[in-house]
Amino acid sequence: MKGRLYAVKSIFALLIVCALMGMFYMNQRKGTAQNPVLDSVMTLEEALEGLHPDCPKEIKNQQVLIDVTYYGLDQLIHQGQIVLDRDLRQDIKHVFQIMLKERFPLASVIPVSDPKFRSDRIWDDELSMAQNNTSGFNYRFITGQKKISEHALGHAIDINPLFNPYIKGALVLPTKAVYDMNQSGTLYKGHPVVETFKSLGWTWGGDWVSLKDYQHFEKEIL
């Protein structure tokens, strides 16, 4: 009888050890909702470091750093950050929830102040686009014009630029981009991500006629 009790106790102890090891392993595993791969862990100050000196204070003070969770191209869950106007925070949180639910993959979501998106210390949107990075605020001109863009106000976001290029006649940006609707992470008319943005009052560059900017969404704030 004693031996049997001992055996039961031993099995019980073994089960507890296995359960603990399982929990430990789950916690260690990267790329889950509980333990996402960390792509960006900046402070707001770091995210705005190197900002164009012409940027007015009122615009700079409107910007916030938003932590976002997303499904990566590697099929793991990632955490990144995006800088946008504080009045758009709720919209962006909502859209990222939909993207995660739809398993719409994003290459990365990292502020353009990251050293890998700089040339001569200046924030370089072309480098960010070429690396398929999703980004928001950037005090810069509209592509090909001398007017500041909605990005300069933190009122616009570019999503997976390499899959969703800017196309104007023969000009394609980023230069190596190919627009292929079968590539996951690509936006097109009727896509749930496009529809979600539109339902929140955002304009999509894929609807424009004189040029197409499939990566681009913007919202006017009154």
What is the contact surface with Zn ion in residues (CB under 5 A)? 156, 158, 216
Q: CA-to-CA distance for 25 and 69, rounded, in angstroms?
A: 21
Instruction: Give the nearest distance from C-beta 20 to Zn ion in angstroms.
Output: 49
Which residue's Cβ lies closest to Zn ion?
216
Instruction: Give the nearest distance from C-beta 61 to Zn ion in angstroms.
Output: 22
Q: CA-to-CA distance for 5 and 40, rounded, in angstroms?
A: 53
Instruction: Give the nearest distance from C-beta 88 to Zn ion in angstroms.
Output: 14
Tokens 């992470």, residue? 185
- Coil, helix or strand for 52? coil
Please say which residue, 216 or 219, places its beta carbon nearer to Zn ion.
Answer: 216
Query: What's 191's DSSP letter?
Result: -
The values of phi and psi at residue 9, to 5°, are -60, -40
Written as six digits, the tokens of 167 are 């196309």
Instruction: Give the nearest distance from C-beta 173 to Zn ion in angstroms.
Output: 10
Amino acid of residue 77: I
Please say which residue, 16 or 122, places its beta carbon nearer to Zn ion.
Answer: 122
Instruction: Give the nearest distance from C-beta 42 to Zn ion in angstroms.
Output: 21
Please say which residue, 77 or 185, places its beta carbon nearer to Zn ion.
Answer: 185
Across the strands, what pairs with 133?
108
Q: Name the maximum alpha-carbon separation found in the chain.
A: 89
Please say which residue, 78 or 216, places its beta carbon nearer to Zn ion.
Answer: 216
Please say which residue, 105 or 161, places its beta carbon nearer to Zn ion.
Answer: 161
